[in-house]
Copies of this chain bind each other. A is one copy, B any other.
Amino acid sequence: MVVNVTVWGENVHERREPDVRERYPDGMHGTIAAGLERVLGDRVKVGTATLEAPSHGLTAEVLAATDVLTWWGHLAHEDVDDAVVRRVQERVLAGMGLVVLHSGHYSKIFRALMGTTCTVNWRDDGERELVWAVEPGHPIAAGVPVPLVIEQQETYGEPFGIPAPDELVFVSSFSGGDVFRSGCCYRRGLGKVFYFSPGDQSYPVYHHPDVQQVLANAVLWAAPQHPVTTPLTNHNRPRPSP
């Protein structure tokens, strides 16, 4: 069964900042998409969509054909149309998988699904991040070294303003001493959500093969087990027959 993935990227840093463009000539979304294809081959069919497209590239048709959506945003969270956010949320609650990346913690869609501030403590100091699997038997940790080493990264630190994850897979440390729940699984409605914090425009994190492995694992984990139709509704249900 092929998993249809749409990789969504804000694509603002990449257009504005030469160093980011050099690091990610195809956009971060392009690198993320290529990484999924490299690891998963014909188990996935990957498309991309960006902010500047009509409906941010997330029309009803695109979403209806998407099993798993990945989301990277940062500068332009507020520019994402509320109607698109509602459509994505509805699709997640109907069963689509969602993988939220790095600064996407503060995206409208993640905040809408979590109900909390989704805030972090951060600094940009080029620290080393070590990503530790605390559930090494989890499918998202399969084939990932313990620890996964990222030489330079933006630092995210606790407390992270999220609901307790349904499954906590990774916890990171940074050389400055901060810790962060860097891999968090949620069930929401009929869908699954995974948040993964490594990844930033200023560092080549999405080229890292182990990070690509995590993202590939996350896509398989988040893929729906049932046909995706509609979310649950309020329903006047008769008695089960006696």
Contact = CB atoms under 8 A, between A and B. Distances in A.
A5 interface: no
A217 to B, nearest CB: 9
A238 B130 contact: no
Contacts of A159: 132-136, 146, 232
A54 interface: no
A179 B172 contact: yes
A104 interface: no
> Dominant SS at the A interface?
loop
A122 B238 CA distance: 8
Interface stretch (A9-17, A183-191, A206-214): A183-191
Interface in A89-113: 89, 93, 95, 106, 112-113
B115 A233 contact: no
One complex includes copies of this chain to the number of: 4
A233 B117 CA distance: 7
B239 A176 contact: yes
Nearest to A131: B179
B161 A163 contact: no
A240 to B, nearest CB: 5
A1 to B, nearest CB: 13
Given A177-B239, A238-B123, A135 B187 contact: yes
Contacts of A234: 106, 119-122
8 pairs of A and B residues whose beta carbons are closest in the complex: A137-B190, A176-B239, A161-B232, A121-B237, A113-B115, A173-B173, A139-B225, A115-B115
Given A113-B116, A136-B159, A179-B179, 7 more contacts: A113-B115, A115-B115, A135-B164, A136-B232, A137-B226, A171-B179, A178-B240
12 contacts: A119-B231, A119-B232, A122-B235, A137-B191, A142-B226, A158-B171, A159-B232, A161-B232, A163-B166, A164-B168, A166-B166, A171-B179
